[in-house]
Amino acid sequence: MKADERAMNADNRIIVALDVSSQEDAIALLDKLPDVSFWKVGLELFVSSGPGILEILKQREKRIFLDLKFHDIPNTVAGACRAAAKYNVDLLTIHSTCGKDALKAAQLALTEGAAAVDKPSPKLIAITLLTSLNSRQLAFELKIPLELPEYALHMALLAKETGLAGAVCSPQEVEQLRMSCGDDFLLVCPGVRPKWADGGDQKRSMTPKAAVKAGADYLVMGRPITAAPDPVAAFARICEELG
């Protein structure tokens, strides 16, 4: 995505996470927030209610981020990507820590899978380091000897070198990743928190405005909107803060 495309409306930049456990609850959120144009279907909803929600989102002409965070051997992630291609979603996730062979196999299978069903290929984006982890956990639980920013950059570059379309990173690393990965590399940031929202389990947060200023193409937000007492007002307030 080029810089001019990045200068889009605030509400087009926000991807709202449909982190609910049933299709009925998901539809209730879609009904409540008709102005949201980009939705994320993640593990909770996909595992509990299957792919039906994707068809519903398509019927409503919404863009879809299918966040299944694949993490497996090359043959398995390739099979999963080939199968996911038929859903005709916009974004799909895989962990960079699968390694280059798996990332390459996944990208190739996704492209082939999309061509086989005559659909555009979803953009495959790689998780660098989950936003729920901090540098202490990286060092002492995961035993990664690199500093956190260096590790996140390394994971993003692995994805870029393998031909993936972009990466998922915390807003705290997005400026550095943007500088190193260039303007054509899609950078999607979860772990975004307005000042007035609860941080929850997110450890490397920034405000929506700061994240965009630092170079994020898209912001992924769930609870600050969906668990707010008034989700419509929360979404409107975030759009207003983004300017």
Ligand X SMILES: O=C(O)c1cc(=O)[nH]c(=O)n1[C@@H]1O[C@H](COP(=O)(O)O)[C@@H](O)[C@H]1O
Of the pair 44, 112, the CB lying nearest ligand X is at 44
Give me the torsion for CA of 39, 42, 47, 50, rounded to 10°: 30
Measured over the CA atoms of residue 101, residue 103, residue 107 and residue 112, the dihedral's sign is: positive
193 is in an annotated binding site: yes
172 lies in the site for ligand X, by CB under 6 A: no
Q: Is 151 helix (H, G, I), strand (E, B) or coil?
A: helix
Nearer to ligand X, 91 or 105 (CB): 91
- Is there a binding annotation on residue 71? yes
Binding flag, residue 207, ligand X (CB under 6 A): no
72 is catalytic: yes
DSSP code of residue 121 = P
Concerning whether 118 is annotated as a catalytic residue, the answer is no
- For the stretch 171-195, what's the b/e string if a residue is b when 16 or more beta carbons lie within 10 angstroms of its beta carbon? bbbbbbbbeebeeebbbbbbbbbbe
Q: Is 42 in the site for ligand X (CB under 6 A)?
A: yes
Interaction of residue 19 with ligand X, rule CB under 6 A? yes
Q: What would the x/- binding string for ligand X be over residues 100 to 139, using CB under 6 A?
A: ---------------------------x--xx--------
Exactly one of 32, 69, 86, 119 is catalytic; which is it?
A: 69
Query: Binding site annotation covers 198?
Result: no
What is the torsional sign of CA 67, 178, 243, 62? negative
d(CA 180, CA 178): 6
For residue 24, the surrounding DSSP H or E stretch is helix 23-32
Binding residue positions for substrate: 19, 40, 67-76, 131, 193, 202, 222-223
Q: Which residues are catalytic?
A: 67, 69, 72
- Applying CB under 6 A, which residues contact ligand X? 17, 19, 40, 42, 67, 93, 127, 130-131, 168, 190-191, 200, 202, 220-224
